[in-house]
Structure 1
Amino acid sequence: MKLMVAQFFMISLLLTSSLFVHSNAGSACDGKCNVRCAKADRTHGECLKDCNICCEKCNCVPSGTFGNKDECPCYRDLINSKGGSKCP
Structure 2
Amino acid sequence: MAIPKVFVASIFLSLLLLHQVQAIHSNKLTSNAVSETSYKPKINCGGACAARCKLSRRPRLCKRACGTCCARCNCVPPGTYGNLEFCPCYANMTTHHNKRKCP
Asked if Structure 1 and Structure 2 have the same fold, meaning a TM-score greater than 0.5 normalized by the shorter chain, the answer is yes
Query: 1:46 deviation in Å?
Result: 0.3
Cα deviation, 1:16-55, whole Å, max 9, x if unaligned, reads xxxxxxxxx57x00000000001113x1100000000000
| 1:50 alignment partner in structure 2 | 65
| 2:50 alignment partner in structure 1 | 34
Report the aligned-residue RMSD: 1.6
Identical residues among aligned pairs (%): 40
Aligned residue runs from structure 1 range 1-88, under 5 A: 25=42, 28-41=44-57, 43-88=58-103
Query: 1:80 deviation in Å?
Result: 0.7
Q: Give ranges in structure 2 of 5+ residues lacking alignment.
A: 1-41
Structure 2 distance, partners of 1:40, 1:68, is: 16
The TM-score with structure 2 as length reference comes to 0.58
The TM-score with structure 1 as length reference comes to 0.67
Query: 1:74 deviation in Å?
Result: 0.1
Higher gyration radius (CA): 2
Q: Which has the higher contact order (CA 8 A, sep 6+)?
A: 1
